[in-house]
C-alpha cells in the first residue's frame, strides 16, 4: 500500500507520479527526485486551475508559479519550504552530473508526501478530510491518543518520539521547531507555532 493512497480518488495523475517516486526510493534516487518534481508540478498546476485566489505570475514555469506572492501566502512558509526542497532536488537530479545520494531521493519522497498531505487536507472534498487512510496517515489535522501512560502520535509516528503523560496537568511539549504538542487531560493536539 502506498503512502500516497489518499490522492488516488481525487488526483489520479498526481497519485501515479507520486507512487512512481515512492517505488524508486531505494533502487534509483535520481528517478525519485525527477518523479517527485513531476508530481509537484502536477499539484501546483492543479492548485492554480482550481483555486481562484491564486493569481498566475508573468511566466508559467514551476519556479515562477511557486514564488508568486498569492501562492506563497496560500501554502504558508512550512509547506513552501518543502515545495522548494522537492523542486531543488528535482532540478539537481535532472541537470547535474553528480550522483544523487539515496538520502536525497528519500528526502524528495518524504517532502512530497507532506506537500500532498497538505493538498489533501486543504482541498479534498467532503468527509475524507478527517478520516484515517489505510496507510495510517491522517487526512485531516494530526491527532494523537493516550495509551498506558504513553502518548503516541497517530500520524507521522516515525518523526516524533513518544513522550510520557502524567495526570491532568496541562503540558506543552516542543516537537521540532514548528510544532508543539498541547495536551490537557486525555485530549491532545498538534499545533503550529
Q: What is the pLDDT of residues 124-137, one digit of tens each?
A: 886 343 333 434 33
Q: What is the CA radius of gyration of the chain?
A: 18
Residue 120 has pLDDT above 80, yes or no: yes
Residue 150 has pLDDT above 50, yes or no: no
Four-residue CA torsion sign, 48, 36, 93, 177: positive
Taking residues 75-81, what's their average pLDDT? 95
CATH, domain range 5-130: 1.20.120
Taking residues 93-113, what's their average pLDDT? 94
Q: What pLDDT was estimated at residue 113?
A: 96
Kind plus residue range of the DSSP H or E element containing 119 = helix 102-123
Q: What is the DSSP letter of 65?
A: H
Q: How far apart are CA 4 and CA 112, in angstroms?
A: 9
Residue 169 or 64, more confident: 64
- Residues 117-133 as b or e (16 or more Cβ within 10 Å = b): bbbbbeebeeeeeeeeb
Residue 17 has pLDDT above 50, yes or no: yes
- pTM score of the predicted model: 0.66
Taking residues 106-119, what's their average pLDDT? 96
Taking residues 144-159, what's their average pLDDT? 32
Residue 20 has pLDDT above 70, yes or no: yes
Q: What pLDDT was estimated at residue 125?
A: 82
For the chain, where are the E strands, in sequence order? 144-147, 150-153, 163-164, 171-175, 179-184, 187-192
Give the residues across from 152 on adjacent strands: 145
- Domain borders along the chain are 5-130, 144-192
Q: How far apart are CA 84 and CA 37, in angstroms?
A: 10
Amino acid at each position: 500500500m502506498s503512502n500516497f493512497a489518499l490522492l488516488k480518488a481525487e488526483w489520479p495523475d498526481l497519485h501515479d507520479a507520486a507512487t512512481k517516486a515512492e517505488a524508486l526510493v531505494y533502487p534509483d534516487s535520481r528517478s525519485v527526485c525527477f518523479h517527485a518534481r513531476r508530481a509537484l508540478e502536477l499539484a501546483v498546476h492543479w492548485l492554480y486551475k482550481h483555486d481562484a485566489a491564486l493569481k498566475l505570475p508573468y511566466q508559467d514555469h514551476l519556479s515562477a508559479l511557486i514564488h508568486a506572492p498569492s501562492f506563497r501566502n496560500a501554502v504558508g512558509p512550512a509547506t513552501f519550504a518543502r515545495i522548494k526542497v522537492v523542486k531543488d532536488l528535482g532540478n539537481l537530479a535532472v541537470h547535474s552530473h553528480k550522483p544523487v545520494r539515496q538520502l536525497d531521493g528519500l528526502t524528495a519522497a518524504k517532502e512530497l508526501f507532506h506537500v500532498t498531505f497538505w493538498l489533501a487536507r486543504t482541498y479534498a472534498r467532503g468527509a475524507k478530510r478527517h478520516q484515517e487512510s489505510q496507510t495510517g496517515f491522517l487526512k485531516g489535522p494530526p491527532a494523537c491518543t493516550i495509551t498506558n501512560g504513553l502518548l503516541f502520535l497517530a500520524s507521522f509516528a516515525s518523526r516524533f518520539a513518544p513522550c510520557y503523560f502524567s495526570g491532568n496537568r496541562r503540558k506543552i511539549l516542543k516537537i521540532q521547531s514548528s510544532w508543539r504538542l498541547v495536551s490537557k487531560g486525555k485530549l491532545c493536539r498538534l499545533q503550529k507555532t
